[in-house]
Amino acid sequence: MSALLLGLVAVPAASARGRQPHKGSHKVCGGKGKAKRCHRESDFQGHGVVASALRTEPLEKPTGKVWIYAENFNEEVQTNIYKADGSFDEEALASLDHLFRCKRTNEERAVDPRVYEMLSRIQDHFEGKRAVLISGFRFAERDSSRHYHASAMDIRIPDIGLNDLYSYAQTLDLGGMGMGIYPNSQFIHVDYRAPGEPSYRWTDYSGHSSGRHKKSPGRIGKAKRPTS
């Protein structure tokens, strides 16, 4: 009996149930040799944004040029969202709306044009390099998601460092925006929050979850009150 009990104690409860230990966290190490130290950090780290950290200067109007490839559909759009008089080109917006359609349901929604303007600003800054769309509108998503409301995008730009892309995107926030970085999946998330909600930032190491109903407070939840 004692040997059996010892055997049971030797097996962690999480492993006995088939779950991975330290779920929801990742290992971080620093230093070298004997000075190397490791600790675990949560996969998701988020925080509100104080007003002093937001942009105060008005945003310049972008060129309107957008060049984007949707990896879920193997489709590409290269267009300008503006007409010659500076108004929105509805035909161009419609072509982008189609590209931003839901991967799971093929449903389309008119995307908030501010998302396309933000994308154009980002591409203007990075010399017009083609962006890759990871996820746009998601019909099969909780209604708290900005993807569900067609006011969010997950993107990367090949040959541009993810931290550089994320850092620049944050300089464009006048308030009411959510921005997250996904180091393991190599994309950033940019959204326009619901009216009245403050800006929010997060880092998510858990991986790509655009096709799953996975809880992620910073990505799909309402923005929290800003904290310092």
Provide the 8-state DSSP code for 11: S
Token representation of residue 52: 């002093």
187 found inside a domain: yes
C-alpha separations of 33 from 28, 41, 64 in Å = 15, 21, 51
Count of other CB atoms within 10 angstroms of residue 186: 14
Identify the residue whose tokens are 């509100």. Answer: 48
Choose the weakest-confidence range: 86-100, 123-137, 203-217.
203-217
228 found inside a domain: no
152 found inside a domain: yes
pLDDT tens-place string over residues 58-88: 999 999 999 999 999 999 999 999 999 999 9
Give the number of domains in the chain. 1
pTM of the model: 0.76
Domain extent for 169: 45-220
21 found inside a domain: no
34 found inside a domain: no
107 found inside a domain: yes
19 found inside a domain: no
What average pLDDT does the segment 141-168 reach?
96
